[in-house]
Structure 1
């Protein structure tokens, strides 16, 4: 396996097969001839926001799945429009900054991040996904690391906005981070399952839907998915097997051609008992 695949998590069967066949084919041929970020030193009294502290706490909620799904009118099976990741969070720097903060200052930052979350939710509701992502990102850059639940919500909400922007790979990253912070976060598993399916990672999607059912056996979308996905996975695997055999046949012909042979001289026969294969040679 190439160094590229060894360093990559969640390698798919398609990637492995393509990597192997490309390497073999190559060897055969070669034998021939940040804007708008809150100031970290900002005090609560300097923050231009409306509402008292009680209101901000009551507003600290996740984006409801029904709001997220209401506008879904078509299935986007594709890759992210923008592969760049410009909104990653430098938690090392955040941790270093927080070492010099008092508990009161950390609480102030938490409150500011809550208001940024509310602003992100409002932008989401009116369809301004870019601003929504921006506000959630600002919230993550200021919310202290000692508040994992609040950070998990910000990551999960940001994933919902990224899904709307068809940035499913980035949405998967955000959902994964939310799950690391809250291992029983049902909405994060659900959204990651949706993004996995949108990027044709059906096995991973099925696993997440099963986890959703563990957390909520009555979850209708997950119950439907665990019925819908297995036949799709089987069909994909059969197609993959056919493509793999086709590639191996082509490579086999390249190897056998100098000897006046081809793969047609060899016949695969399956053993009905062991389900293994035997190769028979014929002139």
Structure 2
């Protein structure tokens, strides 16, 4: 192509031709590598879909549809409900055996089956089943176990074992404040529960130690920040004395040369 030709503004036809050529080249390259790229993409998609499927299956295994149970119960006689309760209790015993044999996942599935059978008119029994399932799931999925304890407490607000179990799960999950609150609730219900009282004192000490550590870290960061701010004035945090009032716990700051 001559220099004069280069300086000319290309026509619409030429522009279209050039773009079409580029598209053709891209299409050829894509087709050449299409099999490998498609295979890679499919593997990634399959892995993501599998992960999503696993999470869905976990939810499906645990899920209890209360609305369906309510609808079912409305069509049952008292005698039929009692019969279902006995079946649920029989499953509970089977789940307890699995749990004692360290077959936690199987125990959890059996408790779930019992919950799907037990009529809603027996909230105390259902609370026990949720609490037992929480114990079975505590080595599998701690968050789900906590949710089961919460369900048990909602069904039976004075169910001490559910509070104790949830407190231990909270502590294992580094939620010390929540764990302590559950123990306090236990002591509100039964002030003579000595084990809960002892564990509450131990937890309070852990919380105090944690808070002191956090406070020390915070003061160190504030000191570093203060030194940055004071440096242009020829000062540092060493020029300030911090005193804590033993009565109120508050702090006073005094300047010193």
TM-score under structure 2 length normalisation: 0.63
Cα offset, 1:202, TM superposition? 1.8
Q: Does 1:269 align with 2:230?
A: no
In 1, are the aligned partners of 2:241 and 2:256 still within 8 Å (CA)? Answer: no
Deviates more, 1:132-141 or 1:183-192: 183-192
Deviates more, 1:269-278 or 1:221-230: 269-278
Cα offset, 1:149, TM superposition? 0.9
Cα offset, 1:191, TM superposition? 1.0
Equivalent in the alignment of 2:95: 120
Equivalent in the alignment of 1:213: 187
In 2, are the aligned partners of 1:253 and 1:262 still within 8 Å (CA)? Answer: no
**Structure 2 CA distance for partners of 1:270 and 1:132, relative to 1, 3 Å:** same
The CA RMSD measured in Å over matched residues stands at 3.4
* Greater fraction helix: 2
Which structure 2 segments of 5+ residues have no match? Answer: 1-53
Larger radius of gyration, structure 1 or 2? 2
Alignment of 1:10-25 (within 5 A): none
Equivalent in the alignment of 1:156: 131
In 1, are the aligned partners of 2:92 and 2:114 still within 8 Å (CA)? Answer: yes
Which structure 1 segments of 5+ residues have no match? Answer: 1-81
Equivalent in the alignment of 2:106: 131
Q: Does 1:186 align with 2:153?
A: no
Q: How many residues align?
A: 199
In 1, are the aligned partners of 2:187 and 2:193 still within 8 Å (CA)? Answer: yes
TM-score under structure 1 length normalisation: 0.58
Cα offset, 1:117, TM superposition? 1.0
